[in-house]
Amino acid sequence: MQPALIIDETANGSQRRIPASPTFSVVAPVYNEELLLPEFCRRMVAVLESIGEPFEIVLVNDGSRDRSPEIMNQLHEQDPRIKVVNFSKNFGHQLAITAGTDYARGQAVIVIDSDLQDPPEVIPDLIQRWREGYQVVYAVRAEREGETWFKKVTAAFFYRLIDRITNVNIPVDTGDFRLMDRKVVDAISGIREHHRFMRGLSVWVGFKQIGVPYKRDARKAGETKYPLRKMLKFAMDGITSFSYLPLQLATYMGFVVAALSLLFLIAVFVLRLAAANPDPTTAAFYGQASTLVTVLFLGSVQLIFLGVIGEYLGRIYDEVKRRPLYIVADALGFEDEKK
Residues that bind Mg ion (CB under 5 A): 113, 115, 117
Which of 334, 329, 330 has its CA nearest to residue 22? 334
Q: In angstroms, rounded to a whole number, what is the distance separating the alpha carbons of residues 98 and 93?
A: 9
Q: Looking at beta carbons only, is 150 or 226 nearer to ligand UDP? A: 226
Alpha-carbon separation of residue 94 from 10, 115, 185, 233 (angstroms)? 20, 15, 14, 12
Least distance from C-beta 155 to ligand UDP, angstroms? 8
Alpha carbon of residue 309 to chain centroid:
21
> Which listed range, 102-110, 113-121, 189-197, 237-245, lies at the site for ligand UDP (CB under 6 A)?
113-121
> Which listed range, 88-96, 121-129, 137-145, 300-308, lies at the site for ligand UDP (CB under 6 A)?
88-96
Using DSSP bridges, classify how beta strands 108-111 and 174-181 pair: parallel, antiparallel or unpaired. Answer: antiparallel
> Which listed range, 48-56, 107-115, 267-275, 308-316, lies at the site for ligand UDP (CB under 6 A)?
107-115
Q: In angstroms, rounded to a whole number, what is the distance separating the alpha carbons of residues 327 and 95?
A: 10
Which of 230, 176, 225, 227 has its CA nearest to residue 200? 176
101, 114, 166, 209: residue in contact with ligand UDP (rule CB under 6 A): 114
> Is 102 near ligand UDP (CB under 6 A)?
no
Q: In angstroms, rounded to a whole number, what is the distance separating the alpha carbons of residues 14 and 235?
A: 27
> Is 154 near ligand UDP (CB under 6 A)?
no
24, 31, 55, 130: residue in contact with ligand UDP (rule CB under 6 A): 31
> Which listed range, 71-79, 87-95, 263-271, 330-338, lies at the site for ligand UDP (CB under 6 A)?
87-95
CA dihedral 107, 108, 112, 117 (to 10 degrees): -130
34, 56, 62, 181: residue in contact with ligand UDP (rule CB under 6 A): 62
15, 70, 215, 226: residue in contact with ligand UDP (rule CB under 6 A): 226
User: Residue 202 burial (CB < 10 Å; 0-12/13-18/19+)?
Assistant: buried
26, 96, 108, 187: residue in contact with ligand UDP (rule CB under 6 A): 96
Q: Which residues bind ligand UDP (CB under 6 A)?
A: 29-31, 33, 62, 90, 92-93, 96, 113-115, 117, 224-226
